[in-house]
């Protein structure tokens, strides 16, 4: 199970980052151009939300079965002094959960009865922040 989940968790970010980048650029263009918030924008946000939630679920399981995080969890004090163990045990999960919360909030807020301009503004900010958080705490040396 571990290997299968690890592969899935490693493959999904390609899709997730592509859709997130696309959604971010689309919201910046729509915000600056004062475009209406269309069904296309909503679906884009929904696909992103689903990908992010699947990644959250897989990451949450991996956290308790992966040797990278369980060895850190066994001795938290020592893990905080080791940059790799600290990344897998604390920084990566925490920042990714924050990014997923931002993606979820952007989707949820854009369903509300507010102006298109405000919906695009929220998406620009939340998607932009999520992108920075994800890119900053991906374990680049193990990925790609």
Residues of this chain that interact with ligand HEM (CB under 6 A) are 6, 9-10, 13, 16, 49-50, 52-57, 59-60, 62-63, 66, 68-69, 88, 92-93, 96-97, 99-100, 104, 108, 134, 138-139, 142-143
Nearer to ligand HEM, 57 or 80 (CB): 57
- Distance linking the first and last C-alpha atoms of the chain: 21
Report the nearest approach of ligand HEM to the CB of residue 14 (Å): 9
Do the Cβ atoms of 123 and 106 come closer than 8 Å? yes
- The label of the residue with tokens 């790609």 reads 144
* Minimum distance from residue 45 beta carbon to ligand HEM (Å): 10
Question: 32 or 40: whose CB is closer to ligand HEM?
Answer: 40
9-13 long-range CB contacts below 8 Å, 24 or more apart? 9/55, 9/58, 9/59, 9/62, 10/143, 12/51, 12/54, 12/55, 12/58, 13/55, 13/134, 13/138, 13/143
| Nearest position to ligand HEM, beta carbon | 59
For ligand HEM, which is the closer residue by CB, 30 or 95? 95
| Choice between 32 and 43, CB closer to ligand HEM | 43
């Amino acid at each position: 199970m571990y290997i299968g989940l690890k592969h899935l968790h490693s493959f999904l970010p390609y899709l997730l980052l592509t859709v997130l980048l696309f959604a971010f650029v689309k919201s910046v263009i729509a915000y600056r151009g004062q475009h209406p918030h269309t069904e296309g924008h909503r679906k884009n946000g929904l696909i992103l939300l689903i990908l992010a939630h699947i990644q959250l679920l897989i990451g949450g399981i991996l956290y308790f079965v992966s040797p990278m995080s369980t060895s850190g969890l066994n001795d938290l004090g020592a893990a905080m002094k080791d940059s790799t163990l600290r990344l897998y045990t604390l920084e990566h999960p925490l920042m990714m959960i924050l990014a997923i919360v931002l993606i979820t909030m952007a989707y949820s807020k854009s369903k509300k009865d507010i102006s298109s301009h405000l919906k695009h503004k929220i998406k620009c900010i939340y998607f932009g922040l999520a992108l920075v958080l994800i890119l900053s705490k991906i374990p680049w040396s193990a990925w790609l």
